[in-house]
A = this chain, B = another copy of it.
């Protein structure tokens, strides 16, 4: 196959619809339905506040944001915007599941790949992928796949980094946005469903027993792990 240093690295990749979908998804993931500050969106997407401010007008024009005549107000998704956001999340998680399960894409690379594909597949195709996979209930990082537009949020779970020594916990999910952490955690066997026991948690590296293995985890990586008891 074409092994010539990936020819395709040509342009940036900001298509009109892609940018809009990214904004909507960011607002949704930051607020979970609640209004979100523009500056937070800017940081989340690594763009300037100005870009968010301009995008705001365009998104309002598309009916994806609740129209807000008063300036300096937080961003609120409209019904349509929320539905689009949920559709994006659904596609993203279905794609991640497919890439990991069927194509054996390593866990830490699944997110980036899905991030690009999610913008170009139709709802119909997403439904076919879901059927192909047997309508999985969660993606390989442990996040639930929303099949209807219900939010089903629930407050954020505690992270592994915050657990007291000696505690036994179960891994619920990993933050897929941090490739490096996901790679390290997967290598250590810290995956959704794994039962852990925290051996030490007082320095930059914590020790965790995972099955028969005792592994050493970077604190920053452990902060990417959501857990339950």
A87 (CB) vs chain B CBs: closest residue: B2
Nearest-neighbour CB distance to chain B for A135, whole angstroms, equals 10
CB-based contact A123/B8 at 8 Å: yes
Q: How far is the CA of A8 from the CA of B84 in the complex (A)?
A: 7
**Copies of this chain held together in the complex:** 2
Contact pick for A105, options B6, B103, B125, CB 8 Å: B125
Q: How far is the CA of A84 from the CA of B87 in the complex (A)?
A: 32
Residues of B near A20 (CB, < 8 A) are: 10-11
Most B C-beta atoms less than 10 A away, residue of A64, A90, A122, A129: A122
Q: How large, as a class, is the contact surface on chain A? A: 35 or more
Interfacial residues of chain A within 1-28, with CB under 8 A of chain B in the complex: 1-4, 6-8, 10-21
CB-based contact A6/B83 at 8 Å: no
CB-based contact B1/A130 at 8 Å: yes
**Contact pattern, A 41-66, Cβ under 8 Å of B = 1, otherwise 0:** 00000000000000000000010100
Known contacts A8-B84, A103-B132, then 17 further A-B pairs from the complex at CB < 8 Å, ordered by chain A residue: A1-B126, A1-B127, A2-B86, A2-B90, A6-B122, A8-B87, A10-B20, A10-B21, A11-B15, A12-B17, A13-B18, A14-B16, A102-B132, A113-B122, A117-B120, A119-B120, A120-B120
